[in-house]
Amino acid sequence: MNQKYICLYPSRFKLDGGAMFGIIPKPLWNKRIPADEYNRIEMSLRSLLIQRDNKIIIIDSGCGDYQGQKFNERFALASTLKSFDQLLAQHQLKREQVSDVILTHLHFDHCGGLLCGQQLELTFPNATLHLHRRQYQHAQNPTARDKGSYQIEHIENFVGQYEKKDQLHWLEGENGFIVGDLNFQTCHGHTPYQILPYNSEMMYGADLVPTAHHVDLPWVMGYDLHPGKSTEDRLEVYQFLIEKNLYYIFDHDLEFIAGRLRKKERGFEFYQLISSQQASSEEFTLNSFSVSECDK
C-alpha cells in the first residue's frame, strides 16, 4: 500500500494576534510569533493532500482565490495567493483527479477554496465531499459571535452542487469513518462538530491547536465559541495522540508541519517536530522523517 503526504499552500494569511491567543498577555505570545504594526501574526493555510492507492484526498482548502481586494488586504492574502491549478500542477496532478475532499469545519479559511474563479465553479468537481452534518447546520444558524466566520452563500453554493451531483457524504455522530484509512473525532470548543481526521500515522488538527505555540492548555484562541470546552477537547485529544503515538499536523503553523506530543512535568510539549526548513522536495513520510514541503 503506497501512501504519501503533500502539503499544499493556497496562501499565507494574517489574523489579530490577541484573538489568536485569547487570554494570554501579548508579552508572552509575542515572543513566540511577533505581531506586525496592526497587531496581526502571519500564519499558514496548510491543506493536506494524501495519495493512497487510487485515491487523492485533500483536507481543507484555504480561503479561495475569488474573495476580492478588500478581503485579501484585510487578511494579507494577495502576495501569496495561489490557485489549486498552480499547486497541483507542481505534482503533475489536476483538480479533476481529486477523489475526496474533507472539511474539518466551515470557517472561511478552511472551506473557501472549494470554489474557484469569478464564476465560483467547484474546484474539485469529481470529488466526494465529506462534511459533518451538524457543523453545516450550525453554519446555517450561527451565533452573533461567530457569524462572520461563515460565508454562508458560498457554503450553500458548494454543498448544494455536491448534493445535486450525489457526491456528498454526511458525517454523523461524535466519531466515525471517513474514507480510506481515515476516521474522525469531533470537538466542540472552537465550533460545534469540528472534525479531526486521523489514521494510524497522523491527525490533522484543524483549529484545535492551530500552531505548535498553542500547545499549553490555556493557550486557546479568542475565536473559540467555548474556550473552556476547548481545553477539555485538547486534553482528550492529547491523551489519544500520546496513546497512539500519532503525529499532529498543524494547519496554521508557518515554522512547523507536524510533531508528536508528550507529557512533561507541567503540561505537554510537542517533540520530533518536522520543520518547514527541512523541506527538500515535495512530500513527507511521517514514520521515516523523510520530510519535504512545497509551495510555501
The answer on pLDDT for 87 being more than 60 is: yes
Q: Over the Cα atoms of the chain, what is R_g?
A: 18
Predicted local distance difference test score (pLDDT) of residue 284? 59
Query: What is the distance between the alpha carbons of residues 78 and 13, in angstroms, rounded to a whole number?
Result: 9
Query: What is the distance between the alpha carbons of residues 107 and 138, in angstroms, rounded to a whole number?
Result: 11
Query: What is the distance between the alpha carbons of residues 270 and 261, in angstroms, rounded to a whole number?
Result: 4
Element spanning 170, H or E:
strand 168-171
Predicted local distance difference test score (pLDDT) of residue 278? 46
Sequence-separated (6 or more) residues with CB below 8 Å from residue 281:
292, 294
DSSP state of 118: T
Least confident of 187-201, 224-238, 247-261, 274-288: 274-288
Q: What is the pLDDT of residues 15-66, one digit of tens each?
A: 999 999 999 999 999 999 999 999 999 999 999 999 988 899 999 999 998 9
Predicted local distance difference test score (pLDDT) of residue 283? 54
Protein fold of 3-278: Metallo-beta-lactamase; Chain A (3.60.15)
Least confident of 8-17, 18-27, 159-168, 186-195: 8-17
With H, G, I as helix, E, B as strand and everything else as coil, classify residue 34.
coil
**Quick one: cell of 48?**
493536506
**Quick one: cell of 46?**
496548510
Model's pTM, two decimal places? 0.93
The answer on pLDDT for 281 being more than 80 is: no
Map out the domains of the chain as residue ranges: 3-278
Count other C-beta atoms under 10 Å from residue 271's C-beta.
10
3-state secondary structure 47-94: EEEEEECCEEEEECCCCCCCCCHHHHHHCCCHHHCCCHHHHHHCCCCC
